[in-house]
Amino acid sequence: MYIEFNGSRKVSDEEAFMFACGMFDEETEIEKAVFMDIMREARDFEEAKRKIIDYAYSGNWVHRKEEESA
């Protein structure tokens, strides 16, 4: 589970990629270009997903195992 530092949003691991895609959709053109670069440069979809998640949640988010976040 990804938890925003201020605790206002929590995203399950299963929903992390789709939520991240939505986050990029709301960002600047530069952030959208980063998203497209990641997608284009990845060897496969799983690598792209992992890199998108890592990038999207690298700022004001922390990752916790589901049982730790309850």
pLDDT in tens, 27-68: 788 988 999 999 999 999 999 999 999 999 998 999 998 755
Output the pTM of the full model.
Answer: 0.81
Centre a 10 Å sphere on the Cβ of residue 48 and count the other Cβ atoms it contains.
17
Distance between CA atoms of 70 and 57, rounded to whole angstroms?
Answer: 19
Cβ contact 38:52 at 8 Å: yes
For residue 26, what are its two tokens? 């709301």
Q: Which helix (H) or strand (E) holds 30?
A: helix 29-41
User: 12: helix, coil or strand?
Assistant: coil
Distance, in Å, from the CA atom of 40 to the CA atom of 57, rounded to the nearest integer, reads: 20
pLDDT at 59: 86
